[in-house]
Amino acid sequence: MTADITEYLAGAAAVPRLAVTRVGVTGHRAIPASVLPSVRSALRRQFSRTDVELEALSCLAAGADQLFADIALAHGVPVTAVIPGMDYEAHLGDEDVRTTYRRILRSCTTRVDLPLQPTHEQAYLAAGRWIVDHCDHLIAVWDGRPARGLGGTGDVVAYARRTGVPVTVLWEPGTRRD
């Protein structure tokens, strides 16, 4: 794992905050079993902090987004659902993924429906950019490789880095996803 978000938040907690620290997520839909325990542990650690008030931003997609949102909610952290401008639910995956999406969505404190985009890829990219533009820190469950399509994790991480949003990558070095 790379630098922990705890280091970032420790510095943020030293400065009086008038608002909540917003943590966004981007990540792969398929997380290898060998990576999952360390990702879960790191997310639990982040959301169990009591020295800073947090809000989580997620698109609630399969994999990293749903895991992030579930762990945030389990720790009492409010979640904002960022819904890409497309027929999103129909493209989430199988019925289990859609059921989990609906369950988490019902628990979110805020829902942001983004404007319709010409393609699904543009909708994913717009949603990732919205999260980056509205968060103080981005967690990336990412293998470090380029995005497989427009709007993928690699594109969102690159955008965050270009715009100066701190990124914490959660991944086991040398592990490849399917």
CA distance 69 to 25: 9
Q: Does residue 24 sit in helix, strand or coil?
A: strand
77 token code pair: 């952290």
Give the pLDDT score at 19: 63
* Single pTM value for the model: 0.88
Residue-wise pLDDT for 6-18, tens only, equals 444 444 444 444 4
Residue-wise pLDDT for 110-138, tens only, equals 999 999 999 999 999 999 999 999 999 99
Torsion on CA atoms 76, 82, 88, 89, rounded to nearest 10: 20
